[in-house]
Chains A and B, each alone.
Chain A
């Protein structure tokens, strides 16, 4: 095993384990913290694919901003395991079956797609994930979707401000 393979299996194992812990933790705060570990593992994968910019933006946006908001809400509501509504055993069983079916479908799709067969992952190669190339692509080939996305973000921001204002005047 080369060092890249060792790293890959370590990160993958960590990601899967942490994702399972998100589901299995009784305490919602623990779930959020495990989810942050998942983001770290995925960022590690990005770095191995030589997409440093993607890796760090993943951390800044998801782990650094969105998860902090999640944590805010959960800490303030002070949820704990006793407050969780109990679900019937049949509901849980149905959830497991449905989720399992979805997983099988995803795996079969991924393994049979023509883009995926007979291809290996390119480690430490390509520079599309570096900020220079990414910026050039975003501002030339994909400039319209990019600007549309920013307009969408702006409208979301305006919406948030309007909602916040309404609260303070009452």
Chain B
């Protein structure tokens, strides 16, 4: 058996990394729910949850316990297998993104250099897109399997919203990829870290704006939380769900938020880069820890922005949402892409000679 030829140490290293990253993502998501309630409370000038534990810090566990203890109800006419598959898919798709995010640079442990990234694959950011496009199935399967017209309608809304905004997201991304010349998130981050280069936000402010709006829509966050608009659709595609299955749906939204924040930080804000500091002068392990801290800080700032928007801005109407996506964001992203292409060509040597030679 050549199974033994495998680098066992590498296997263990990756497995440990996967377990740590998934657990950490879940842990952060747990406290994001708490932060959401606290931020909402601050913005609405009330104390918010404060009874469970000191400062209410045990509140997410109390919430989780409550969800787990609730009775599980599977509606009589529901498609049982798919009804269970729906939330599982939503959660899996949300967590799978963390595989390609470079959490920090290398650490040196026991004489081995360990990348703090599960897989640095050639197609990094496309993988993220593949996973995001699969997240739609969690919504659609759940909504359809519930055998409820309102769930189905909400699922259709959610799926068409996700597909519409994926387009503008991809187009705004192309401009960034043209600057970087690579699809690997690690390479993109390294380029932004290099001396003499600014973060991509400096070159692509419009691209970032489009990407951010699309990320809001992809995560079903206000002002785009139409799939679960209570006043129109009772509760949304997860109306028939109860207990932890409902918890999975709600929770996957927070995991999605964290992952999209991480992707945005890597693409536009230098990932684990610390501004005004050359990481190469630091010891390897210290640089890695500080880098991780920098990335987490950026993620937390984005999460706060998500929440801030949620508790300040009212929701779009459905036709407004579609108009914004198709008629405003996509043309804007296309223009951005064209301009970026023109500028890159201008900066390349020899372009002017070619153009002037063409007209002679």
Chain A residues packing against B (C-beta within 8 Å): 1-3, 27, 29-30, 33, 36, 52-53, 56-57, 59-60, 63-65, 68, 71-72, 75-76, 130-131
Contact (Cβ within 8 A) B140 A71: yes
Report yes or no: B183 in contact with A131, Cβ–Cβ below 8 A: yes
Let me know if B133 is at the binding interface, CB within 8 A. yes
The chain B residue sitting closest to A53, CB to CB, is B123
Partner of A56, one of B126, B136, B156: B126
In the assembled complex, the Cα of A36 lies from the Cα of B1 at a distance in Å of 32
* A65→B1 contact, CB < 8 A: no
Of residues 135 to 192 in B, which have CB atoms within 8 Å of A's CB atoms? Answer: 136-137, 140-141, 144, 152, 155-156, 159-160, 163, 166, 183
Residues of B within 8 A of A60 (CB): 126, 129-130, 133
B121 at the interface (CB under 8 A from A): yes
Distance between Cα atoms of A30 and B85 in the complex (Å): 12
Q: Nearest chain B CB to A93's CB is how many angstroms away?
A: 31
How far, in Å, is A3 (CB) from chain B's closest CB?
A: 6
Closest to B155 in A: A75
Interface majority SS (helix, strand, loop, mixed), chain B: helix
Tell me the complex Cα distance, A46–B208, Å: 32
Q: How far is the CB of B169 from chain A (nearest CB, A)?
A: 12
Q: How far is the CB of B183 from chain A (nearest CB, A)?
A: 6
Of residues B121, B122, B141, B166, which shows the largest number of chain A Cβ atoms within 10 Å of its Cβ?
B122
Docked-complex contact A52 and B122, CB < 8 angstroms: yes
Interface pair A68/B159, CB less than 8 Å apart: yes
Assess whether A59 is in contact with B133, with CB atoms less than 8 Å apart: yes
Beyond A3-B6, A76-B156: 8 further Cβ-contacts under 8 Å? A57-B126, A59-B133, A59-B134, A63-B133, A64-B166, A68-B159, A71-B159, A72-B156
Q: Please pick, from B121, B155, B166, the residue contacting A52 in the complex, using a CB distance under 8 A.
A: B121
Nearest CB of B to A77, in Å: 12
Q: CA A124 – CA B183 in complex, angstroms?
A: 20
Q: Which residues of A contact B1 (CB under 8 A)?
A: 1
Question: Interface code B113-124, partner A: CB below 8 Å = 1, 0 otherwise?
Answer: 000000001110
Looking at B121, B144, B160, the one whose CB has the most chain A CB atoms below 10 A away is B144
Q: In the complex, which residues of chain B have a beta carbon less than 8 angstroms from the beta carbon of A36?
A: 137
Q: Does B127 contact A (CB under 8 A)?
A: yes
Instruction: Give the residues in chain B near A72, CB-CB below 8 Å.
Output: 156, 159-160
Cβ contacts under 8 Å, A130 to chain B: 122
In-complex Cβ contact of A75 among B136, B140, B163 (8 A)? B140
| Residue B2 CB within 8 A of the other chain | yes
A53 to B177, CA, bound (A): 15
Q: Which residue of B lies closest to A47 (CB)?
A: B121
Report the 7 A-B pairs with minimum CB-CB distance, sorted nearest first.
A64-B133, A59-B130, A2-B2, A56-B126, A52-B123, A75-B144, A56-B130
